[in-house]
Amino acid sequence: MSGTLRISLIQMNIEAGNPEVNFARMEARLKDAVVRQPKPDLIVLPEMWNAGYALDRIGELADPDGERTKAFFSDFCRAHGVNVLAGSIAEKRDGGVYNTIRMYGRDGRELADYSKIHLFRLMDEHLHLQAGDRLCRFELEGVPAGAMICYDIRFPELARKLALDGAKLLFVPAEWPHPRLHHWRTLLQARAIENQMFVVACNTVGVSGKSNFFGHSMVIDPWGEVIAEAGEEETILTAEIDPRLAEEVRGRIPVFEDRRPHLYQ
């Protein structure tokens, strides 16, 4: 397993319904993050950063087949030698629109993609988006990792499945609004504690329609301790983690060895 990883989270304001403004803002923040010293190993973006929750027009705003997103991040990662979890975007494909993560390695190769499997009814996602049908697993610098999107964190089975498959890092791009800050923090810490893994969650800020997004992007260790947390403004939050801590915690409290799954059915 690799040594420490330096991770930068881009907590940005997203202008719903304006992909051009959002793309320019994302590119500026990304360039700011990559020139910082020490240079990050990984940069993480929030959920739906390209179009926001302009769901009534999402078909016309979504990136067709993700082509613009894929071309940009492949070139950027190759040019700068950095990994990027490109948050999630509204992506039009297969006759529908999906809320999709794309993960890129230092050489520009796409390492994984994931479309949100739990659609959030309170924001009418189920009326405008298609749900994904598979989990997200990949390796980051040799470390098994997984990803989910926002509402997915309310489903502990998903995080547990990724952990059972070996994930030691869990990434969560989100657009999580007020007034549910307590839920955000509690659920993220619970996923970290119960699965003895790092949780890296990148939220957005600003107002979109009736929703006010509060930020508080955070990095949580396998003990459930918050080791870095942003406020409610646009920022780049950076933390250094040692993925080997997950193995240490799992060795000290052998939760996975003590499971009795035949009783959980």
Catalytic residue ranges: 47, 116, 150
- The string over 47-61, giving b where at least 16 C-beta atoms fall within 10 Å of a residue's C-beta and e elsewhere, is bbbbbbbbbeebeeb
Reduced to 3 states (helix: H, G, I; strand: E, B; else coil), residue 17 is coil
Distance between CA 106 and CA 62 in Å, rounded?
A: 26
- Return the residue matching tokens 């999580």: 176
Which among 83, 208, 194, 193 is positioned nearest to 138, based on CA atoms? 83
CB neighbours (10 Å) of residue 241?
24
Q: What's 44-99 look like in SS3?
A: ECCCCCCCCCCHHHHHHHCEECCHHHHHHHHHHHHHHCCEEEEEEEEEEECCEEEE
Beta strands in the chain (DSSP E): 5-11, 42-44, 63-64, 83-93, 96-104, 110-115, 136-140, 143-147, 169-173, 198-202, 205-208, 211-214, 218-220, 226-229, 235-241
Give the H or E element holding residue 25: helix 19-34
Positive or negative CA dihedral for 174, 180, 185, 189? negative
CB neighbours (10 Å) of residue 183?
12
